């Protein structure tokens, strides 16, 4: 990603957070993480992250999704004998989120996978999260999610965050963004 793309994405994410009624300090707007997963296709694949806290015990974040933007399929594996993997609770704050997990495929899902990428999405049991809805994923559960037509904001509360250990279905994904 180019620095100008990151700046524009931060501005856009800040506007969505404001629509959601979430107050964000100037310093936070300037440090919002823009994750394009190394795919250079932020309109389709990405996540804008405002981390409030991330320590050895827990993590709290706001996840901003642009309209129809997808956080690709992944899971949080066990780390060692003392860490069974990341458990996440997502709470929809604004917009609609189509959370897809392992299970019986939903017959008529609302999420739209970009043409040609269908093989990269095997979790097809869709849970629709509306403002106020929440869902907890146990460690190791395969999942992905997409915003509805207006975008969305999800609060994420989780156990220790270790993004670098996430396992992605798409082998091209790099979780930590590279900025040119």
User: In CATH, which superfamily holds the domain spanning 3-168?
Assistant: Jelly Rolls (2.60.120.10)
Does an H or E element contain 145, and which?
strand 143-159
pLDDT tens-digit map of 22-67: 999 999 999 999 999 999 999 999 999 999 999 999 999 999 999 9
In order, the DSSP letters of 92-104 are EEEEEEEEEESSS
Confidence band of 164 (pLDDT split at 50, 70, 90): confident
Q: How many whole angstroms separate alpha carbon 11 and alpha carbon 123?
A: 32
Q: What residues pair up with 149 in beta bridges, in sequence order?
A: none
pLDDT tens-digit map of 64-117: 999 999 999 999 999 888 889 999 999 999 999 999 999 999 999 999 999 999
Total residues found in the chain within this entry: 180
Q: Which residues contact 26 (CB under 8 A, 6 or more apart)?
A: none
pLDDT tens-digit map of 122-162: 999 999 999 999 999 999 999 999 999 999 999 999 998 88
């Amino acid at each position: 990603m180019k620095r100008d793309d990151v700046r524009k994405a931060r501005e856009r994410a800040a506007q969505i957070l404001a629509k959601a009624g979430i107050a964000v300090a100037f310093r936070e707007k300037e440090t919002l993480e823009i994750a394009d997963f190394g795919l250079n296709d932020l309109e389709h694949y990405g996540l804008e992250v405002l981390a409030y806290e991330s320590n050895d015990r827990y993590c709290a974040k706001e996840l901003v999704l642009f309209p129809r933007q997808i956080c690709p399929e992944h899971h949080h594996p066990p780390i060692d004998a003392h860490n069974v993997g990341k458990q996440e609770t997502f709470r929809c704050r604004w917009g609609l989120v189509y959370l897809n997990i392992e299970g019986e495929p939903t017959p008529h899902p609302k999420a739209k996978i970009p043409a040609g990428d269908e093989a990269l999405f095997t979790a097809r049991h869709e849970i629709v999260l509306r403002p106020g809805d929440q869902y907890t994923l146990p460690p190791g559960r395969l999942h992905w999610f997409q915003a509805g037509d207006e975008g969305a904001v999800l609060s994420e509360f989780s156990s220790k965050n270790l993004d670098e250990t996430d396992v992605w279905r798409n082998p091209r994904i790099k979780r930590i963004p590279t900025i040119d």
